[in-house]
């Protein structure tokens, strides 16, 4: 990448994550989104963007371009990676924010369209070049990486929690339940889908669900491979999620106060990514947060001799912020090189 110009990003999918990426990049001086692929009507896409941001008046349409203070992105009416000519926009990296395309085979269609690199907004279905979590394994990136994942909001929150606590304590194993806002692929009314429970109304039910974080955790934190069980409860909340993690500590003397102190140190070491809250907050209090992990000190409990239960909050905007951090990492790395 030419360091004298902003990093040029392409974006597939202008859903909630895509709109957050556009809003965040518009406020930066070193990143610009130059092309957006989405089948939505331009006026409706603009309407949705304006409905979610703090300063809606700064965004407008100019023909087929959505424009902001520092951004002017061409809207392309497609939702198929193989149909997007990224090369004509001179992008440095494409973010697939659809949440639909997660296989390496499909993501390679972006490369065929001229994208030097592709970043997935979620965890992949199969092996890709790298899963990158800022503040944990950023130093592992390589110029040959082309298919990248920035994890997910839940995965990043979990990794930051474990990474921080593992600096102070030996953790034998644990379990995660994320109490998660319902997602765009869930039906608001009962509707027959591919899964029994997810066919039920997201607006009326607490729906148990699986989560892939445990499967990929070892790629980011090798010491925790196979040690953390993960699951999800999708609840009737539109945004704002809770990370409920129970850990088995090797040392029976570890107290809740010890864990809280370790998390405060972690927040000092990674400001902007980790925070600690002492107030009795609820999910709506975390909306708009750009942190990836807001540790709830009141939620830390010790049970028996070895069990520690923790609560942490997070919201999708923090994940969008981390995705732009990963984009910057690869921008600084420069052009793609072939594997030796």
Structure tokens at 34: 């130059």
pLDDT at 5 over 90: no
Where do the H-state alpha helices sit in the chain? 16-26, 42-52, 104-112, 153-166, 213-220, 256-269, 316-333
- pTM value is 0.94
CA distance 101 to 214: 20
pLDDT at 245 over 60: yes
Q: 257-291, pLDDT tens digit by residue?
A: 999 999 999 999 999 999 999 999 999 999 999 99
Q: Are strands 207-210 and 228-235 parallel, antiparallel or unpaired?
A: antiparallel
Mean pLDDT, residues 235-258: 96
Instruction: Write the CB contacts of 81 (distance below 8 Å, at least 6 apart in sequence).
Output: 12, 96, 101, 106, 107, 109, 110, 113
What are the CA-CA distances from residue 170 to residues 120, 147, 262, 305 (Å)? 32, 33, 13, 14
Q: 165-191, pLDDT tens digit by residue?
A: 999 999 999 999 999 999 888 899 999
> Which pLDDT does position 70 carry in this prediction?
84
Contact status, residue 134 vs residue 107, Cβ threshold 8 Å: no
From start to end of 112-259, where are the E strands? 118-120, 130-131, 147-149, 171-181, 207-210, 228-235, 241-249
Contact status, residue 51 vs residue 26, Cβ threshold 8 Å: no
Of 194 and 18, more confident? 18
């Amino acid at each position: 990448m030419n360091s004298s110009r902003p990093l040029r990003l392409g974006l597939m999918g202008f859903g909630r994550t895509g709109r957050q990426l556009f809003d965040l990049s518009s406020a930066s001086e070193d990143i610009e989104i130059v092309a957006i692929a989405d089948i939505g009507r331009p006026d409706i896409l603009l309407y949705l963007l304006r409905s979610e941001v703090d300063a809606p008046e700064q965004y407008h349409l100019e023909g087929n371009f959505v424009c902001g203070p520092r951004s002017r992105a061409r809207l392309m009416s497609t939702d198929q990676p193989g149909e997007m000519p990224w090369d004509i926009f001179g992008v440095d990296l494409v973010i697939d924010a659809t949440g639909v395309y997660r296989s390496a085979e499909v993501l390679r269609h972006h490369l065929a369209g001229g994208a030097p690199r592709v970043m997935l907004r979620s965890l992949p279905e199969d092996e890709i070049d790298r899963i990158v979590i800022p503040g944990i394994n950023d130093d592992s990136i390589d110029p040959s990486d082309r298919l990248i994942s920035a994890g997910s909001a839940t995965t990043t929150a979990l990794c930051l929690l474990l990474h921080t606590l593992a600096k102070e304590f030996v953790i034998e194993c644990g379990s995660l339940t994320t109490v998660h806002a319902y997602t765009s692929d869930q039906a608001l009314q009962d509707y027959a889908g591919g899964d029994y429970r997810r066919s039920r109304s997201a607006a009326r039910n607490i729906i148990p669900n699986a989560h892939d974080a445990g499967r990929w955790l070892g790629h980011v934190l090798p010491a925790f491979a196979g040690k953390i069980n993960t699951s999800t409860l999708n609840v009737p909340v539109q945004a704002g999620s809770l990370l409920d993690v129970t850990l088995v500590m090797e040392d029976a003397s570890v107290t809740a106060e010890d864990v809280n102190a370790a998390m405060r140190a972690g927040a000092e070491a990674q400001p902007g990514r980790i925070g600690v809250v002492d107030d009795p907050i609820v999910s709506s209090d975390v909306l708009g947060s750009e942190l990836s992990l807001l540790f709830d000190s009141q939620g830390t409990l010790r049970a028996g001799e070895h069990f520690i239960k923790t609560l942490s909050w997070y919201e999708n905007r923090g994940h969008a912020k981390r995705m732009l951090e990963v984009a910057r990492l690869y921008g600084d790395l420069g052009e793609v090189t072939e594997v030796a």
